[in-house]
Amino acid sequence: MQGGSSGGQRSQRVTISDLARRLDISKASVSYALNGRSGVSEETRQRVLSLAAELGFHPNSAAVALSASRTRTIGIVIARDPALISTEAFYMRTLVGIEQYLNEVDSSLLLRLTGEQGQDLDVLRRWSRQGRVDGFILFDEHNDDPRIPLLKELGVPCVVVSSNAPDDGVGRLISSPEQTVRLLVGHLEELGHKEIAHVSGPFTFVHEQLRVKLLKEHAEARGIRVTHLEGNYQYADGAALTRKLLKSKKRPTALVLGNDLMAVAALRVAVELGTAVPDELSIIAWDDSPLCELALPGITAVDQQTMERGRMAADLLFRIAAGESGLHWETPSGVLRVRDSTAPA
């Protein structure tokens, strides 16, 4: 055994001590040079930088984290049924958006998919205490979401990809459904629908409550009646609720479904019951995806600009972590992708 301290296999890592020794300067100077701080002559800085590049030096992240309390890592913990997570393109699209930003600022994402609820709180707590992340991005806000007070107490920044905006001092990416509702109602009104149904996602989600409330308000203001049913985002549920709606006496002429999966289910059930789409029934999905795009007929859907939202969430989080406080940003408004599943009533 020669020279090696611990590692063994791993090729000798280059440290700032190595750089300092080779250049015959102090570790501090190397650190200053590397971090663009004042305290070194321009000449020394260049010598350090070029040697670092030559040797392929990258600072040990643990050491940086330990001494500077900065991890360049954000955490995301998703507590949803694994089956749903992989089915809903929403999550992956958001992650892609977040990653776009992370690539730009060379930061990383620590990801944990805890199947069950409750477990996510543990992970949040642990990662915070462990100093593993600089902050969190939170999805799927609930009523009285326990994660928010927890993170406040732990003193870790977070951004809620949310839809309401209580002034509680945490970062929020606000995407009010108001604009989306306007698009939906406008489209349905133009087509002359008077009796519609809304199969929402679970009411436990803050954004679903808002959607239901706003859709009702806006629609009724235009003389459109809304029947609301609560769904759970699953295919089977969308199918069952659609069946129920289509068999009721006051049959709606248009259906708004909370996500793509339920919208496809509605389409299927309509076909099955011999209800022509879009001639006898219009269908709209509240979130766009390949499933909507590739359905037959293509399903009119709201493109929520999910990737862009992810990007913004990451951006916002880094600003908050850098000291700007209580920021609230509005997301770009959604876009209605009109396809073949909607037609005049």
Contact residues: DNA, CB under 7 A: 5-6, 13-17, 24-29, 31-32, 34-35, 37-44, 57, 59-60, 63-64, 66-68
Partner that binds at residue 44, options its own copies, DNA, none, CB closer than 5 to 8 Å by kind: DNA
Q: Which residues pair with 112 in a beta bridge?
A: 77
Say how far residue 211 (Cα) sits from the centre of its chain. Answer: 18
Q: How far apart, in whole angstroms, are the C-alpha atoms of residue 242 and residue 227?
A: 12
60 Cα distance to chain centroid: 29
Of positions 28, 66, 276, 338, contacts its own copies by CB under 8 A? 66
Kind plus residue range of the DSSP H or E element containing 287 = none
> Which candidate, 189, 180, 177, places its Cα nearest to that of 224?
189
Contact stretch for its own copies (CB under 8 A) within 39-47, 123-131, 312-320, 333-341: 123-131
| Alpha carbons 215 and 100: distance in angstroms, whole number | 33
Take residue 263 and report the two structure tokens written for it: 């919208």
Token code pair at residue 122: 């543990």
Please name which of 90, 84, 129, 132 lies closest in space to residue 111, comparing C-alpha atoms: 132
Choose from its own copies, DNA, none: what does 143 bind? Cβ within 5-8 Å by kind.
Answer: none
Which of DNA, its own copies, none is residue 26 near (CB under 5 to 8 Å by kind)?
Answer: DNA
Place of tokens 């004042």: 38
Q: How far is 135 from 339, CA to CA, in rounded Å?
A: 39
User: Cβ closer to its own copies: 257 or 291?
Assistant: 291
Check residue 165 for interaction with its own copies (CB under 8 A). Answer: no
**# chain residues binding its own copies, by CB under 8 A:** 66
- Containing 124, the helix (H) or strand (E) segment is helix 119-129
From the list 36-44, 147-155, 246-254, 327-335, the region that binds its own copies by CB under 8 A is 147-155
CB 5 → DNA: shortest distance, Å? Answer: 5
Residue 113 touching its own copies (CB under 8 A): yes
Of the candidates 79, 185, 245, 264, which one interacts with its own copies according to CB under 8 A?
Answer: 264
For residue 42, the partner it binds in DNA, its own copies, none, with Cβ less than 5 to 8 A by kind, is DNA
Report if residue 30 touches its own copies, rule: CB under 8 A.
Answer: no
Nearest CA to 88 out of 113, 71, 110, 58 is that of 113
Distance from C-alpha of 93 to C-alpha of 262, rounded to nearest angstrom: 19
Binding mask 284-323 for its own copies (x = CB under 8 A): ------xx--xxx----------x----------------
DSSP code at position 111: E
Q: Which residues bind its own copies (CB under 8 A)?
A: 6-7, 9-11, 13-14, 56-66, 69, 71, 73, 82, 85-87, 89, 91-93, 95-96, 99-100, 102-103, 108-115, 119, 125-127, 129-132, 153-156, 235, 261, 264, 268, 271, 290-291, 294-296, 307
